[in-house]
Amino acid sequence: MKYAYFAGGCFWCIQPCFEQIDGVSSVTCGYSGGDEISPRYEDVKAQKTGHRETVKIEYDESKTSFSSLLDVFFDNVDISDGDGQFIDRGRSYTLAVYYTGADEKKEAEAAVAALGCRGTVAVEAFRAFYPAEEYHQDYYKKEPEKFVCELDLSGRIKRKMRKNMQKVYDFLKSAGTYFLATDDEGQPRVRPFGTVNIFDGKLYIQTGKKKDVSKQLHKNPKAEICAFKDGRWLRLACELVEDERVEAKKSMLDAYPDLRGMYDENDGNTEVFYCKNATAVFSSFTDAPETVEF
């Protein structure tokens, strides 16, 4: 077994991100980066010890890798914030990767350089790890309701949802054409689509009220979208909800000016729908599926 150490802000929030990975056998909350031996939570939080809240990850390198753990780390933190993470402020909540060897150092530094976050994510040699008090371990399992509230108040959930939505948007946009499946009184209907837009924090598609797809979505908003690009495919299941605001329609048509020959935000026909309760799965023949929600 191998160990990896990451400081990602509040350890309550970052611990479950790693525990769900195949090959990870345990994740322990604790403290690293400071000089004081066996620090207490109250002192770390008060910025008295120089430590950061850190997670220690025990993993089987035949099933996962340090590089994969790095990806998970960066996917769940805000690399633009060098003074803490979300509502938690101070050095103890800043970001760091603690390497235990030359290979880890090289990978961490390369990732930080590629992401352009040298000033906000520290790459430091591992010195010591001190497990946090027992009540901090597996907090998300012990206090699930409080944990969700903590995530929500911190802004982590909203950021994660925005990031997931952007990933789906980027894939659909780059694919150019995708396929939308709807229900027509028990009969599946599939047709090619090409419009996708982000407006007011939501992912939208566009059609016309005169089309059958509009009628089907109003009867049953559940739909699936599928797209393929460069050996990868996306399947998106969601509810498509109409947004009658002129601003939403205008934003879509501004993103696709060629459509203005057929549509106008004030024509009574243009219609936009946004994705609600969306689950997207990215797949390929070579990599494990990746599921995101927004």
Closest listed residue to residue 15, CA positions, set 157, 159, 141: 141
CA 169, CA 227: separation in Å to the nearest integer? 11
264 by DSSP, 3-state: which?
A: coil
Q: Are 222 and 183 in contact (CB under 8 A)?
A: yes
CA 82, CA 61: separation in Å to the nearest integer? 30
Place of tokens 């944990």: 147
CA 232, CA 292: separation in Å to the nearest integer? 15
Write out the two tokens for 259. 């459509």
Backbone angles phi and psi of 93, in degrees to 5? -110, 10
Distance in Å from the first CA to the final CA of the chain: 34
HSE toward the beta carbon, residue 48, CA cutoff 13 A: 10
CA 4, CA 94: separation in Å to the nearest integer? 17
Torsion of CA 157, 108, 127, 100, to 10 degrees: 120
Write out the two tokens for 131. 């497990």
Torsion of CA 16, 21, 22, 25, to 10 degrees: -40
Tell me which residues are annotated as active site.
10
State the CB neighbour count (10 A cutoff) for residue 262.
Answer: 11
Largest CA distance in the chain: 71
